[in-house]
Amino acid sequence: MPAIPRAIRRTNPITILLAGLLSLGFLAFIFSPSSNAATTSTAKRKFDSAAAHPLSPPTAPFQKTASSAKGKRPPPPVVHYHMNNLTTTSDPVANEENVLILTPLARFYQGYWDNLLALSYPHSLIALGFITPKTREGNAATAALQAAIAQTQNGPEEKRFASITILRQDFDPPIASQDESERHKKENQKARRSAMSRARNSLLFTTIGPSTSWVLWLDSDIIESPPSLIQDLTSYDKPVIVPNCFQRYRNDKGAWDVRPYDYNSWQDSQTAADLAAKMAPDDILIEGYSDMATYRTLMAKTADVTEGRDQKQSNTAGWGWRDRIAGQSRGS
Amino acid sequence: MNRYHGGSGLNGLPTSKMGGSLSISPNRGFQTSRSRLATRQRNKLLVKLAIIGSIFALFVLVFLPSFRSAIFSVFSLGLLSSVEELQLETVRYYDLSNHGGTARGWEKEERVLLCAPLRDAESHLPMFFAHLRNFTYPHHLIDLAFLVSDSKDRTLSLLSQMLTELQNDPDPKQPYGEISILEKDFGQKVNQDVESRHGFAAQASRRKLMAQARNWLLSAALRPTHSWVYWRDVDVETAPFTILEDLMRHNKDVIVPNVWRPLPDWLGGEQPYDLNSWQESETALALADTLDEDAVIVEGYAEYATWRPHLAYLRDPYGDPDMEMEIDGVGGVSILAKARVFRSGVHFPAFSFEKHAETEGFGKMSKRMGFSVVGLPHYTVWHLYEPSVDDIRHMEEMENERKNREREEKERAERAKKIKEEFNDPGSQWEKDKSDIEGISKKEEENKAREGKEQGPNAKAGKDSAAAGPAKEEAKAPAKDKADGKQVDSKEVKGESKEAKKQKG
């Protein structure tokens, strides 16, 4: 027993001095301003680039506290936006181009959120926009979304998105159920599509900001995409571009397989044009229904599902909305 | 180890370096060796625990930066207090059904987005800001958005200077809500002067560029909180201060007032200005069917005779300002629309939509999507009068005429003066002559008296010179006739140019 105390007692002043210096060094490392400069300066930079007032574009965060000492917020400042400098290039990361990801949300899938978090595009350049219907299902989706957002925005700094906007629809959805079979019934299509476009327009026009370079429409049931989705699509440098959308399913033999899902990306055909000419002015053509055969070239059917594919898709005249990226869609 | 030594003294009593040894100090002499051993064992355990704990804490501090910053913020709160201030809000939640727009928006604190596209508008800004200061709608509920494009004058610097002054106004009722100045050039080729702006050939492409500018402005400035969008041109000269409330009260999806402009008296005093607010006519629909798919009908030009009822021509200065009229095309001088119209996708087509573009296309698209589009024929806003090249030439002519007339008048006055002087001179001469004559006649009388039968011919000559007075009046009359003739001429010109004006927008 007395061996250990004797060993401690035998320590000479030099060891104690060295130990003291070491601990001082540790303390200096922990509390030195240089070690904190990294974290505080990014926070400071983020803070300085944020809007000074809550009345600001929803694509950027705003400063929570009043900047004046009086505690009362001064009137909003005069803000200049240099839209001539707004670029849409094939290298958006290097040019720090802001992307707005828009999603009409009727049901919240954790897979969707995880896929979103896995995107490799810098999250500080991504703003998110959601619109949810005011139904029971919509309320549940909103609550789940808010929980996921709270977790992400309080989590690690590099995973946080620049800004998130949640909108609630100001009109009733035309069909109550969001089940796939119900949604895809042909007689429901026109009302459903028209309500969809109202929701999309509401979302787009109120969230697109003066510094938004790209808009990515990503449906809430997209649960798997390459992490480099944004970089891949923007690299083609097209005003509007859409990838193919497939669905994984269990085939007859019970094994996992893939099949085309989105039939709304197509090249027009003469049959379809003739069909359209005969229709009443307010009727719409819908793709993917056998009693309205258009014989259009569907992008979903032209996909090469074998390994090692990497091909540029041809121009499409109609666009599927699955996940479409559009550069500055306010042109006309 | 330091801690071990510091903590080794029991009860804080001073101990020598050998205090923990087996030597017995006098004040501890009563303790048994067994209890001393137990104390020492306990101490050693405590020391070990303390060492392990501090090493663990060090590891945590070194390898977990977030924990470190949390600790740091606790320690440095009093010194820096920066972290507390650096809080950002990244999540926003809006229920769009709260921002639908109602008839009494100012009571429900509904936000209005005021959009104004600008181009080389420096000279109009002071007037526009006078209007802004006078708006009765609560200023903090109005967000201002300006799009400055392709300006070559000081529009931008003057605008930001005046806006900064407005936001820093000591009167708490003056500052507005969010203020955005968007700078975006479209490379417009068309000049902004009145003649090229309103020339027929330039209309279609000019209107498409204007539509693009409006769409950029709206899409960048519209927020989920907006219930109303008000489009206002900066060159409105006179408008009621209550215009927002007045238009809002009608609770229509899209509503426009009548737009006229004042004219100089020689052009008739006033004139309809905005001919883009109209009701669709059968003639125009038939005309539209004959046109190419990309063609754009522009209203107010003789090239397209549409025979549409125009809001502008239906104005009665004494009519009920609340009277409404259903219209199909709208003019862009002053449009109040519910934000949900824009939210549902209606915009200013920069292409041919049902043969129309820009604001007229906007009206058509609103109608097509089932929104109400209404004009107020007897509620008038006055656009600034900018003389056209014809007007300027005519005004120059008038100015020359006026100068000529003045010169003539002056000349005439001078002549009259001269004549008068000449007339006065003979008068005094006459007096002189008279006295002379009188003197002479006296002499003559004397002579007569002397000679008895002689006649006075000089007296007859005196009567002739007195008749020169009326002759001057006669000379004046023809000059007056001439001036009257010119006035008649200019009245005819006035009538003609008034007709010409009606054909323009």
> Is residue A67 a part of any domain in this protein?
no
**Angle at which helices B65-76 and B33-63 cross, to 10°:** 100
> Is residue A165 a part of any domain in this protein?
yes
Pairing between β-strand B91-95 and β-strand A163-168 as defined by DSSP bridges: parallel
What range defines the domain where residue A286 resides?
236-332
Contact residues, chain A, for B143 at CB < 8 Å: 55
Candidate from B76-90, B128-142, B209-223, B389-403 with smallest mean pLDDT: B76-90
Residues A121 and A218 both lie in one domain: yes
Interface test with A, best of B109, B185, B343, B358 (most A CBs within 10 A): B343
> Is residue A249 a part of any domain in this protein?
yes
For B11-49, how does the pLDDT look when each residue is reduced to its tens digit (9 = 90+)? 444 444 444 444 444 454 455 566 777 888 888 888 888
Residues A212 and A98 both lie in one domain: yes
pLDDT of residue B168: 92
Chain position carrying tokens 């069917």 = B289
Distance from the Cα of residue B360 to its chain's centroid: 21
For A183-205, how does the pLDDT look when each residue is reduced to its tens digit (9 = 90+)? 677 777 788 888 888 999 999 99
Label residue B328 by pLDDT band (50, 70, 90).
Answer: very high
Domain with residue A105: its CATH number is: 3.90.550.10
pLDDT of residue A252: 81
pLDDT of residue A173: 75
Report angle CA B412, B418, B422 to the nearest 5 degrees: 140
Q: The pTM is what?
A: 0.71
Do the chains contact at B1 and A78, CB–CB below 8 Å?
no
Interface test with A, best of B16, B92, B369 (most A CBs within 10 A): B92
The structural domain count of chain A equals: 2
Q: What's the rounded Cα separation, in Å, for the pair A221 and A226?
A: 15
Query: B186 vs B189, B207, B318, CA distance in Å?
Result: 9, 13, 43
A270: how many CB neighbours lie within 10 A of its CB? 10
Residues A248 and A304 both lie in one domain: yes
For A1-22, how does the pLDDT look when each residue is reduced to its tens digit (9 = 90+)? 455 555 555 667 888 888 888 8
When pLDDT is averaged across residues B299-327 and rounded to a whole number, the result is: 84
DSSP structural state of residue B97: G
pLDDT greater than 60 at residue B218:
yes
Which residue from B69, B180, B222 is facing A205, i.e. has the nearest CB?
Answer: B222
Residues A220 and A248 both lie in one domain: no
For B359-400, how does the pLDDT look when each residue is reduced to its tens digit (9 = 90+)? 999 999 999 999 999 999 999 999 988 777 787 888 888 888
**Angle at which helices B125-134 and B155-167 cross, to 10°:** 20
B351 touches chain A (CB under 8 A): yes
pLDDT greater than 60 at residue B483:
no
Query: A103 vs A106, A129, A131, A169, A213, CA distance in Å?
Result: 9, 6, 7, 13, 17
Contact residues, chain B, for A156 at CB < 8 Å: 66
Contact residues, chain B, for A44 at CB < 8 Å: 82, 86
The residue out of A224, A258, A277 marking a domain boundary is A224
The residue out of A194, A224, A254 marking a domain boundary is A224
The residue out of A164, A197, A224 marking a domain boundary is A224
ipTM here: 0.79
When pLDDT is averaged across residues A70-77 and rounded to a whole number, the result is: 77
Q: What's the rounded Cα separation, in Å, for the pair B276 and B332?
A: 8
Do the chains contact at B97 and A331, CB–CB below 8 Å?
no
> Is residue A218 a part of any domain in this protein?
yes
Chain position carrying tokens 């905005």 = B274
Do the chains contact at A81 and B183, CB–CB below 8 Å?
yes
Candidate from A251-260, B119-128, B403-412 with smallest mean pLDDT: A251-260
In 3D space, the residue among A234, A205, A221 whose CA is nearest the CA of residue A95 turns out to be A234
Residues A292 and A186 both lie in one domain: no
B90 touches chain A (CB under 8 A): yes
Residues A112 and A200 both lie in one domain: yes
> Is residue A287 a part of any domain in this protein?
yes
Give the three-state DSSP class for A207.
helix
Which of A184 and A233 is assigned the larger pLDDT? A233
Residues A321 and A220 both lie in one domain: no
Which of A70 and A234 is assigned the larger pLDDT? A234
> Is residue A220 a part of any domain in this protein?
yes
DSSP string, A121-178: S-GGGEEEEEEE-SSHHHHHHHHHHHHHHHHHHTS-GGG--SEEEEEE-SS--SSS--
Residues A326 and A295 both lie in one domain: yes
Instruction: Report CA torsion sign: B62, B65, B66, B68.
Output: positive
Q: What's the rounded Cα separation, in Å, for the pair A208 and A165?
A: 11
Residues A215 and A258 both lie in one domain: no
pLDDT of residue A285: 77
pLDDT of residue B160: 93
A209: distance to nearest CA of chain B, Å? 5
Give the three-state DSSP class for B141.
helix
The residue of chain A nearest to residue B210, with distances taken between CA atoms, is A332
In 3D space, the residue among A215, A219, A317 whose CA is nearest the CA of residue A262 turns out to be A219
pLDDT greater than 90 at residue A123:
yes
Do the chains contact at B68 and A207, CB–CB below 8 Å?
no
pLDDT of residue B499: 43
B30 touches chain A (CB under 8 A): no
In A6-22, which positions are buried (b, 16+ CB within 10 angstroms) versus exposed (e)? eeebeeeeeeeeeeeee
Contact B61, A30 (CB under 8 A): yes
For B251-291, how does the pLDDT look when each residue is reduced to its tens digit (9 = 90+)? 999 999 999 988 887 777 888 888 888 898 888 888 888 88
Q: Rounded to the nearest 5°, which phi and psi values hold at B466?
A: -70, -25
> Is residue A186 a part of any domain in this protein?
yes
Residues A213 and A266 both lie in one domain: no
Do the chains contact at A206 and B351, CB–CB below 8 Å?
no
Which of B361 and B493 is assigned the larger pLDDT? B361
Q: What's the rounded Cα separation, in Å, for the pair B8 and A296?
A: 90
Helices (H), A208-258: 229-234
pLDDT of residue B148: 93
Q: What's the rounded Cα separation, in Å, for the pair B294 and B350?
A: 11
For B219-241, how does the pLDDT look when each residue is reduced to its tens digit (9 = 90+)? 999 999 999 999 999 989 899 99
Residues A214 and A296 both lie in one domain: no
List strand residue ranges (DSSP E) for B219-283, in order. 226-232, 236-238, 254-262, 270-272
Mean pLDDT, rounded, of chain A: 79
> Is residue A19 a part of any domain in this protein?
no
In 3D space, the residue among A154, A95, A100 whose CA is nearest the CA of residue A127 turns out to be A100
Residues A205 and A278 both lie in one domain: no
Do the chains contact at B221 and A210, CB–CB below 8 Å?
yes
Do the chains contact at A79 and B181, CB–CB below 8 Å?
yes
